[in-house]
Amino acid sequence: MAIIRIRDIELSEREVNGITEYAWEAVRVYKIPVECYGEHITNMYLIIDGEITLIDAALNTEQAMTDLLTGMATINREFGIRVGIADINHVVITHGHADHWGMLSNDKFRGKKVYVHEFDTMFMKDFGSMRVNSRGRINSLIEEAGWNLSMDNLFSLDGIVSEPQGCELIELKEGQRIINGYEVYHVPGHSPGHICLKVGPVLFLGDLILSKTTPLQIPGSMLEGCGLRLYLNSLRRVGGLDRHLGLPAHEATIYSVSDRVVEMEAFHYKRLLDIIGVCAQEKSLFQITDEYYQLRPETLNGRTVADLSRDEQILALEEIKAHIEYLIDDDHMTITGVENGVVMYRAK
Ligand SMILES: [Zn+2]
């Protein structure tokens, strides 16, 4: 068992069979990592403090549900807290991406109170039409990038994700206090209605701050409420808060949120500078993306864009486009023209 000091509060941290308990005063938080697909793990957290609250609800896959039930059995057996899905009073969703709420379509969650920021409820209430719109936006992105990619079976979530039925959706706003006084911070950028939730000395980070990787950037032109500038502002805001223990929705616990924010900001500034370097001559988004990752293969675990799956290639285009929009906004880059629908860029 480890003791962590956050301001004047002492938390204990104890891990058994992959489940980690954080305890202070009468509050218990359990981290339950569940596998959504492949190697994609979402951390679900249970808060027990008179009320029982779940933070994020992964995907509704058999493996994810098995991992959640096994985790709850461990909490019962090893930590002596009798809790099952039926006992959960509240579910707080950090943002509208399906690997954070997909499990709500499982009957076990019927009738639950679900809290999500007002700008992200569309992902859950209108998943079908959001998918159609995003398909259209991805198609234009590929065309203007000057790339020829197939649009078949895009992000094959069909059959895994459906809109939650029979949950009571409660829309959140910045600064609101919910449940036992938990505080909502609206931190847009990765998604329009992304939130962090402060519970005493702990900050649930969602995808805003991860311990190892940086979350995908979606260009603001593709979805209002996204974009690198909003994201970096959100990052700095959370980095400037008092010290908290950071509990992210993927990867490992963050013991110094402000240090991790400094690293993540530096990562994006370096990427911005690299992109300026790549764009000394006029180039398309495809060329910029391809050349950037050739320059920094370490950011793709040593791979190049050609090695990626089609879905990953689309995400790479979105990531680089989000950085280009930031540079254009700051007058470091310009659109030099459009040739057969392909947009050309150059650094200024
Ligand atoms: Zn996520």
Quote the ligand 1 centre to 99 CA distance (angstroms).
Answer: 6
Residue type present at position 186? H
Quote the ligand 1 centre to 41 CA distance (angstroms).
Answer: 9
3-state DSSP assignment of residue 312: helix
The pLDDT, as a whole number, for residue 278 is 96
Quote the ligand 1 centre to 334 CA distance (angstroms).
Answer: 32
Quote the ligand 1 centre to 106 CA distance (angstroms).
Answer: 19
Quote the ligand 1 centre to 92 CA distance (angstroms).
Answer: 14
Quote the ligand 1 centre to 89 CA distance (angstroms).
Answer: 23
Closest C-alpha to 67, from 52, 79, 85 = 85
As given in the structure block, the two tokens for residue 240 are 């400037």
Quote the ligand 1 centre to 18 CA distance (angstroms).
Answer: 19
Quote the ligand 1 centre to 143 CA distance (angstroms).
Answer: 27
pLDDT in tens, 168-196: 999 999 999 999 999 999 999 999 999 99
User: In terms of DSSP H, where are the helices of the chain?
Assistant: 62-79, 121-125, 127-145, 228-239, 257-278, 285-295, 310-329
Q: Is the pLDDT of residue 208 over 80?
A: yes
pLDDT in tens, 39-70: 899 999 999 999 999 999 999 999 999 999 99
Quote the ligand 1 centre to 308 CA distance (angstroms).
Answer: 19
- Binned at pLDDT 50, 70 and 90, residue 129 comes out as confident
* Residues 188, 178 contacting (CB under 8 angstroms): no
Quote the ligand 1 centre to 26 CA distance (angstroms).
Answer: 29
Supply the DSSP symbol for 223. S
Ranking 111-115, 133-137, 218-222 by mean pLDDT, the lowest is: 133-137
As given in the structure block, the two tokens for residue 319 are 């990531």
Q: Is the pLDDT of residue 158 over 70?
A: no
**pTM for the full predicted model:** 0.95
Quote the ligand 1 centre to 342 CA distance (angstroms).
Answer: 31
Ranking 156-160, 209-213, 337-341 by mean pLDDT, the lowest is: 156-160
Q: Which domains does the chain have, with CATH numbers?
A: 2-268 (3.60.15.10), 271-347 (1.10.10)
Quote the ligand 1 centre to 32 CA distance (angstroms).
Answer: 15
Quote the ligand 1 centre to 97 CA distance (angstroms).
Answer: 6
Quote the ligand 1 centre to 190 CA distance (angstroms).
Answer: 9
* Residues 109, 167 contacting (CB under 8 angstroms): yes
Q: Residue range 223-248: average pLDDT?
A: 96
From CA 153, how far away is CA 289, in angstroms rounded? 23
Quote the ligand 1 centre to 100 CA distance (angstroms).
Answer: 6
Ranking 145-149, 279-283, 319-323 by mean pLDDT, the lowest is: 145-149
Q: Give me the residues paired with residue 342 across strands.
A: 339
Quote the ligand 1 centre to 223 CA distance (angstroms).
Answer: 17
The pLDDT, as a whole number, for residue 276 is 97
Quote the ligand 1 centre to 59 CA distance (angstroms).
Answer: 10
Quote the ligand 1 centre to 276 CA distance (angstroms).
Answer: 29
CA dihedral sign of residues 282, 285, 288, 291: negative
